[in-house]
Each structure stands twice: as structure tokens, then as C-alpha cells.
């Protein structure tokens, strides 16, 4: 791929961006405004989604402009950073981030950014060439991620982790000097708010190149404070293991996080209790199924992983042969366990009162059904006498 000229790059980007579809016309923004960052990059890479996030640099007064536009167009304005004059305008499925220009001009603003491919701008005026003061177009042509400076990375240490994440997401390489800078300053990442680190890790775990990206982040020392890789199950790249596209979309990010992070570490990163628990349960069963399970343990596994069994299949493909097919069958009595008889029927037929005996009987019936043994009221009566 050859680097485009600034004029041809602008033409190609605007063609992909299709501003006629935007919820607001470019003319709604003040003179000197520009579209910057990811949307410009992705337009040139032909990877825009139907509703790309639009990042705008405004000469000044970004928050006030955002609030005014939200009121006029019945949207929602969210202040992102009052000190830096940044806000988000939400209009239906569209999200527009407005930020006040940093520095005396737009070129200065672009030169403060993290990587060359993110330091591209399209001025919102007709036939203006694309602005590329740092060589981002050449980086796009080389499919490489290059940090603009050591100081820029350290201005927001989350940029250290964003490097491997973008490289994995775009299938780019990290330029060697950039990789060395990230490794040298990896200890600065914990200075960043835990929620922001987690959000970046979740993006990395969810992208197509997430396995390689997480491994690169680990190799660069970025994960050392939190990472505790599994000792059992799949190591490194996770195989697709026959999952459908939707199953993979749901299971792969979870499996990748569980493969590297304990629930406690995710708690340090301010993950939700639900995510912590899902990863902890997955890690527990990955270790357990390296040996055959007893019936009660197998039933418990199926209960705890009714929604997440595909992630376990990714992490332990050899120990879970045939499980995925059974899990897809919602009537399978083991992988979707339930009692053959409801509690009220048992109480009525056996004259039982609610209590431990009824609960134990229900559990036994679920186990009997799960493993294909006869179950009926007669069997329940026999169990009750036992």
C-alpha cells in the first residue's frame, strides 16, 4: 500500500464517511473545526461501521457548543472532562465527541496525540486537504503503529496499553522504537484509573487479534501487576473449537480474560462483580476438568456455566469433546438441568412440608434426570422412604 497524497486522502476519507448521513451537517460546527482521530483513520482503512464515533476538535467552547446542539436537536450532552473542555453529544445511534483545541492551532493539537495514525484531521470545509503533520499516512501505508514521542505517551499512560490494543485491532505491527518505549515505561500504567485500564483490556479481548494483542501487552510488561495465567487448559491462542459466529462473539472475550486474570485481579481493575464471578467460575472448572468429574460435580459445572459453556470449550477443548453439541440442545437434561417434578407436586403427592428434606429430594431428582435414569412420583416416593 502506498501513502496517499493529502488531497487524495481527504477525498477518499470523505467518500467513506458520507457526511450526508451524519445527524449534524459539518456546517453546524464553527470555523476552524475538524474531524480527527479514529474516524479519519478508519475511513482511510475502509473499516467504518454504520454509525462511526465522530471526534471533533473545536477551536474553543466545546462543552457549551455540545449543550447547545443537544438542546436544539433533542440529543443528550455528557461532560467528559470539564477542565479540558470535552463533551459528548449523543443523537440516536450516533456519538460525537467535541473537544477544545489544545495549543495555538490544529497542527499543535495533532502533534500532542499518541500515535501517528491518530494524528490525522479533516478540516470541516469544502475541498480542504487532510492534515498530516506527523507522517500518519505513511504509517497507514506501512501498517505500523508509531508513537509520536515519549512525552506524549506519558502524558496519559493509558496510551501505553492502547498501542498493543490498536495493533491487534487493526492487524498492524508496533514500530520497534515504540515497542521499546512502551516496555520501558510499562510500570506507569497502574497510575491510570482502573476503570480505564479495564475498558482497554475488554476492547483488546474482544478484537479479532486479541490473543496476540494480550500476549504482546504481557511481553511488554503492561499486565504484570494483574496477570495470573491459567496453569491448565489452552495456552496462548484460543482455538475457535467449532463455535458459531454469535457464540464466538459472546465467549471469546470472556475466555481471553479468564485465561489471564483471576477474579481478584479483575476486582482491582473495578470490574463488575458479575464479570469477576464469571471469570472465577471458568478458571475453577478449567482446573477441575483436567480429571474426570463425579456426577454431582458435573451437574454443578453445567449449572454454573449454563450461559458460559462455550468459553470453557475454548479454554479446555480436549476435555470438553461433544459438550458443545449437547449444550446447544436446550432440552438436554444435563447441560440444562431442571427437576422433572415441581416442588408443589412433590408436596401434594408425598405430603411433604417445605424444608431441607424437600430440597434434598429435588436435588436428587435433578441428578437422576440429568444422567438418564428413570424418574417419576413412584421413584420420588422411594427416595423419600430412603
- Which is nearest to 263 in space by CA: 238, 235, 282, 286? 282
Write out pLDDT tens, residues 36-86. Answer: 989 999 999 999 999 999 999 999 999 999 999 999 999 999 999 999 999
Give the CATH number, domain containing residue 28: 3.30.460.10
Q: Which DSSP helix (H) or strand (E) runs through 196? A: helix 194-206
Contact (CB, 8 A) for 315 and 286: yes
Grid cell, residue 122, equals 479533516
Q: Domain end: 89, 110, 142, which one?
A: 142
- Tell whether the model's pLDDT for residue 351 goes beyond 60: yes
Question: Considering the domain boundaries, does residue 57 fall inside one?
Answer: yes
Question: Considering the domain boundaries, does residue 369 fall inside one?
Answer: yes
Question: Considering the domain boundaries, does residue 313 fall inside one?
Answer: no
CA–CA separation, 168 and 207 (whole Å): 7
Q: Domain end: 105, 120, 142, which one?
A: 142
What pLDDT, on a 0 to 100 scale, did the predictor assign at position 178?
A: 98
What pLDDT, on a 0 to 100 scale, did the predictor assign at position 340?
A: 72
Across 153-163, average pLDDT: 97
What pLDDT, on a 0 to 100 scale, did the predictor assign at position 373?
A: 77
Cα Rg of the chain (Å, integer): 27
What pLDDT, on a 0 to 100 scale, did the predictor assign at position 236?
A: 65
Contact (CB, 8 A) for 285 and 301: yes
Residue 364: which domain range? Answer: 343-385
- Tell whether the model's pLDDT for residue 364 goes beyond 90: no
Write out pLDDT tens, residues 270-282. Answer: 999 999 999 999 9
What pLDDT, on a 0 to 100 scale, did the predictor assign at position 363?
A: 82
What pLDDT, on a 0 to 100 scale, did the predictor assign at position 352?
A: 66
- Tell whether the model's pLDDT for residue 383 goes beyond 60: no
Question: Considering the domain boundaries, does residue 365 fall inside one?
Answer: yes
Percent residues over pLDDT 90 in the chain: 79
What pLDDT, on a 0 to 100 scale, did the predictor assign at position 53?
A: 94
What pLDDT, on a 0 to 100 scale, did the predictor assign at position 347?
A: 65
Q: Give residue 344's pLDDT band: very low, low, confident or very high (50, 70, 90).
A: confident
Question: Considering the domain boundaries, does residue 81 fall inside one?
Answer: yes
What pLDDT, on a 0 to 100 scale, did the predictor assign at position 338?
A: 85
Q: Domain end: 142, 173, 196, which one?
A: 142
Q: Give residue 339's pLDDT band: very low, low, confident or very high (50, 70, 90).
A: confident
What pLDDT, on a 0 to 100 scale, did the predictor assign at position 100?
A: 97
More confident residue, 126 or 139: 139
Q: What are phi and psi of 155, to 5 degrees?
A: -60, -30
DSSP state letter for 316:
-
CA–CA separation, 51 and 17 (whole Å): 10
Number of domains observed in the structure of the chain: 2
Please give, one letter per residue, the 3-state secondary structure of 49-97. Answer: CCCCCEEEEECCCHHHHHHHHHHHHCCEEEEEECCCCEEEEEECCEEEE
Across 239-244, average pLDDT: 78
Question: Please, what is the average pLDDT of the chain?
Answer: 91
Say which residues have a Cβ less than 8 Å from residue 38's Cβ, sequence separation at least 6.
Answer: 52, 53, 55, 118
Residue with cell 453546524: 28
Question: Considering the domain boundaries, does residue 378 fall inside one?
Answer: yes
Question: Considering the domain boundaries, does residue 196 fall inside one?
Answer: no
Question: Considering the domain boundaries, does residue 71 fall inside one?
Answer: yes
Percent residues over pLDDT 70 in the chain: 91
Give the dihedral sign, CA 191/196/200/205: positive
What pLDDT, on a 0 to 100 scale, did the predictor assign at position 84?
A: 93
More confident residue, 376 or 358: 358
Q: Which DSSP helix (H) or strand (E) runs through 98? A: strand 94-100
What pLDDT, on a 0 to 100 scale, did the predictor assign at position 353?
A: 67
DSSP sequence for 325-369: HHHH-TT-TTTS---SS-HHHHHHHHTPPSSHHHHHHHHHHHHHH
Using CB atoms within 10 Å of the CB of residue 358, give its burial: 0 to 12 exposed, 13 to 18 middle, 19+ buried: middle
Amino acid at each position: 500500500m502506498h501513502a496517499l497524497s493529502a488531497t487524495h486522502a481527504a477525498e477518499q476519507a470523505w467518500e467513506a464517511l458520507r457526511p450526508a448521513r451524519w445527524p449534524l451537517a459539518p456546517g453546524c460546527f464553527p470555523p476552524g473545526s475538524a474531524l480527527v482521530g479514529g474516524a479519519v483513520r478508519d475511513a482511510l482503512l475502509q473499516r467504518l461501521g454504520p454509525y462511526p464515533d465522530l471526534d471533533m476538535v473545536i477551536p474553543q467552547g466545546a462543552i457549551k457548543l455540545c449543550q447547545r446542539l443537544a438542546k436544539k436537536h433533542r440529543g443528550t450532552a455528557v461532560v467528559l472532562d470539564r477542565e479540558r473542555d470535552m463533551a459528548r453529544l449523543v443523537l440516536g445511534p450516533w456519538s460525537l465527541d467535541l473537544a477544545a483545541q489544545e495549543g495555538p492551532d490544529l497542527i499543535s493539537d495533532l502533534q500532542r496525540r499518541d500515535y501517528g495514525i491518530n494524528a490525522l484531521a479533516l478540516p470541516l470545509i469544502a475541498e480542504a486537504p487532510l492534515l498530516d503533520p506527523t507522517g500518519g499516512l505513511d504509517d497507514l501505508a506501512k501498517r505500523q503503529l508509531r508513537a509520536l514521542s515519549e512525552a506524549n505517551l506519558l502524558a496519559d499512560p493509558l496510551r501505553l496499553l492502547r498501542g498493543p490494543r490498536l495493533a491487534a485491532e487493526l492487524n498492524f505491527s508496533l514500530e520497534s522504537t515504540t515497542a521499546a518505549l512502551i516496555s520501558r515505561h510499562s510500570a506507569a500504567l497502574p497510575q491510570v484509573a482502573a476503570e480505564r485500564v479495564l475498558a482497554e483490556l475488554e476492547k483488546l479481548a474482544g478484537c479479532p487479534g486479541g490473543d496476540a494483542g494480550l500476549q504482546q501487552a504481557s511481553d511488554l510488561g503492561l499486565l504484570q501487576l494483574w496477570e495470573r495465567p491459567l496453569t491448565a487448559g489452552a495456552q496462548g491462542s484460543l482455538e475457535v473449537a467449532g463455535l458459531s459466529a454469535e457464540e464466538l462473539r459472546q465467549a471469546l472475550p470472556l475466555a481471553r480474560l479468564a485465561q489471564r486474570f483471576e477474579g481478584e485481579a479483575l476486582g482491582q481493575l473495578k470490574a463488575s462483580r458479575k464479570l469477576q464471578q464469571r471469570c472465577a467460575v471458568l478458571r475453577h472448572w478449567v482446573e477441575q476438568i483436567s480429571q474426570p468429574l463425579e456426577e454431582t460435580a458435573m451437574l454443578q459445572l453445567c449449572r454454573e456455566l449454563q450461559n458460559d459453556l462455550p468459553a470453557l470449550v475454548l479454554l479446555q477443548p480436549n476435555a470438553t469433546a461433544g459438550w458443545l453439541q449437547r449444550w446447544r440442545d436446550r432440552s438436554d437434561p444435563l447441560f440444562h438441568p431442571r427437576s422433572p417434578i415441581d416442588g408443589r407436586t412433590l408436596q401434594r403427592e408425598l405430603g411433604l412440608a417445605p424444608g431441607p428434606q424437600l430440597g434434598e429430594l429435588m436435588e436428587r431428582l435433578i441428578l437422576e434426570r440429568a444422567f438418564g435414569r428413570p424418574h417419576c412420583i413412584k421413584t420420588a416416593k422411594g427416595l423419600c422412604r430412603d
